[in-house]
Amino acid sequence: MNGSSAAHHHRRLQLPYLSVILAVAVLVATVNGGEFTDSSAIISRFQQYLRINTAHPEPNYYKAADFIVSVANSLSLESQILEFVKGKPLVLLKWPGRDSSLPSILLNSHTDVVPAEHEKWAHAPFDAHLDTSSGHIYARGSQDMKCVGLQYLEAIRKLQNSGFRPLRTVYLSFVPDEEIGGFDGAKKFADSEVFKKMNVGVVLDEGLASPTENYRLFYAERCPWWLVIKATGAPGHGAKLYDNTAMENLLKSIESVRRFRAAQFDLVKAGLKAEGEVISVNMVFLKAGTPSPSGFVMNLQPSEAQAGFDIRVPPTMDAVSLERRIAEEWAPASRNMTFELGQFKHKVSVFDKFGKPILTSADSSNPWWALLEEAIRNANGKLGKPEIFPASTDARYFRELGLPAIGFSPMSNTPILLHDHNEFLNKDEYLKGIDIYESIIKGYASYVEHLKDEASRDEL
């Protein structure tokens, strides 16, 4: 060994100090699982999850499932992997409650993410780069929604360390395929025997980031109706003026749709309604014309023309009158128009299986709503007005069963970057979210329904 005797002497003096510090560190770690609970360990687990590439079209679901199960094992949670469709594992975890007869809590999250255009990102989307000056963690899935899935587990770790034991059973589901409709994930799960046996009383699922200090809570979501309208008419020379051409008939419909769209949008612009509270209609394709080798035949009026619309309907709206509007104004048979009534290209009903509007009560009539608000406030979180989610999530499959399902992702002071380039979540915001879930899970898992409620429900 090289080095002066002075350096040697110095090192010898330091050694006892070092071993004392080490001993204390080991002691702390043994007492409260410190190696798992300090914030750098929490952040590095988040990064580990984010680094698993679960982007479509080839999500690495098994690697994600292995990771979730390993975290669950460190918490002694019961785990099982359900594979309703081969190659699409769903991880179901269980933290058993003291009273298994009470309805359980389900914390849902999806493991898949949307693809990323790597070259448009400042940091590679699956590196989970932590910018040390800002504290931002850049990754696809950092907002949508690997944050939430892991925050649930970190919150459970904190609760366990504090000695908390749930009264109600807490389930966690990590589902595949949300980003492509959830048919082989949450839908099959919600329809399964396994799900029925879980006796779920309430579901938490994803929400959206909030650019303000207020968290956002979602009690419903707009239902997608993908409408294709088709006009037919007699073909004719391009120079001839005559009535009922396919193009003229389609244009009249498009004008009518545009007026409706503008009126809905005006309500949003005027601040009278939130984005999720109006019907949105956007034309997504136009298909017409007679192809020729150089483009389209120019002196011929075609006999068919089609347009496609993405319509989003809030369950609070009168869907029947919208259907009437489509049949009478947008695609009237009197103008030789057809649309596939009752068989839209895709149509999600605004009603649940009991025929009620597919939404969760967002007031004190719903104890789960009140408990959630209270738990968030107890953890120093601020809340905005209840909202309707503008797009779709897996929560609809649980609401369809008549279950209360609330959309919530604890991200305040955060730009909305889901599906965008450079999606990120700040590490402090992530850590704060864990405290919020700690409060929520504690409130939910200890909730005892009052007998009064039972009686009044029976009367109903």
Q: Would you name the residues annotated as active-site residues?
A: 112, 178
Q: Is 261 strand, coil or helix? A: helix
- Of 206 and 429, which has the nearer Cβ to Zn ion? 206
Q: Is 387 a known ligand-binding residue?
A: no
145 binds Zn ion (CB under 5 A): yes
**Measured at the alpha carbon of residue 378, what is the angle toward residues 377 and 381, in degrees to the nearest 5?**
40
Residues 6+ apart with CB under 8 A from 332: none
| 423 part of the interface to Zn ion, by CB under 5 A | no
Q: How far is the CB of 139 from Zn ion (least distance, A)?
A: 14
Of 146 and 261, nearer to Zn ion (C-beta) is 146
**Long-range Cβ pairs for the range 29-36 (8 Å, 24+):** 32/161, 33/157, 33/161, 36/74, 36/157
What angle in degrees, to the nearest 10, is found between the helix axes of 146-161 and 427-445?
60
Residue 255, marked binder: no
Give the sign of the dihedral formed by CA 158, CA 160, CA 165, CA 167: positive
Backbone angles phi, psi at 446, to 5 degrees: -105, 0
> Least distance (Å) from Zn ion to the CB of residue 440?
19
- Closer residue to Zn ion, CB minimum distance, 235 or 415: 415
**Which stretch, 116-124, 144-152, 182-190, 397-405, contacts Zn ion (CB under 5 A)?**
144-152
Q: Is 221 annotated as a binding residue?
A: no
154 binds Zn ion (CB under 5 A): no
Residue nearer to Zn ion on the CB measure, 215 or 339: 215
269 burial level (CB within 10 Å; 0-12, 13-18, 19+)? exposed
- 55 lies in the site for Zn ion, by CB under 5 A: no
**Total of chain residues touching Zn ion, rule CB under 5 A:** 3
Please indicate if the annotation marks 144 as binding a ligand: yes
Cα–Cα nearest to 348, from 176, 226, 185: 226
Nearer to Zn ion, 145 or 331 (CB): 145
| Residue 346, marked binder | no
User: Is residue 144 a contact point for Zn ion (CB under 5 A)?
Assistant: yes
CB of 344 to Zn ion, least distance (A): 23
Question: Among the candidate windows 62-70, 117-125, 206-214, 360-368, which touches Zn ion by CB under 5 A?
Answer: 206-214
In angstroms, the CA 345 to CA 306 distance is: 13
The residues that bridge with 178 in the sheet, in sequence order, are none
Show binding-site residues for Zn(2+).
110, 144, 179, 206, 419
Q: Which residues bind Zn ion (CB under 5 A)?
A: 144-145, 206
Show binding-site residues.
110, 144, 179, 206, 419
